[in-house]
Amino acid sequence: MDENQEFGPRTPWWMWVVILLCMVPGLSFPAMLTLIDSTNAVIKGLTWLYPAYVLLSGFLAWQCYGRRTLMSWIILVLLVLSHACMYYLTFHQIGY
């Protein structure tokens, strides 16, 4: 049996590039740590979990691509939306 048939089709090179480009904003994690409000535990906790979420989303998008391509795109769209939310949480003043 062919190895690709056993595990599904391989992820093409262009999808690797798309996944990596969607994960690049996660590199801003050190800058986010310096800008968060240290008194707000929720924002601080979300900021600490953010890199794990970015890595896990990239991994899951890569895993899903061969069998469930649409699911892979949904994961990447949610990742990009979460980047926007994290930037809003860390770089803007939020009034309660």
The predicted pLDDT at position 45 comes to 80
> Rounded to whole angstroms, how far apart are CA atoms 29 and 40?
17
User: Is 94's pLDDT higher than 70?
Assistant: no
The predicted pLDDT at position 90 comes to 73
Residue type, 34: T
Provide the CB-side half-sphere exposure for 13 (13 A, CA): 0
Q: Give yes or no for a contact between 35 and 60, defined as CB atoms under 8 angstroms apart.
A: no
Provide the CB-side half-sphere exposure for 81 (13 A, CA): 6
> Rounded to whole angstroms, how far apart are CA atoms 67 and 45?
33
Opening angle at CA 90, ends 84 and 91, nearest 5: 85
Domain ranges of the chain: 3-91
Q: What is the pTM of this model?
A: 0.78
Mean pLDDT of 69-73: 94
Residue type, 85: C
What is the tens place of the pLDDT at every residue in 14-34?
Answer: 999 999 999 998 877 777 777
Q: Give yes or no for a contact between 62 and 11, defined as CB atoms under 8 angstroms apart.
A: yes
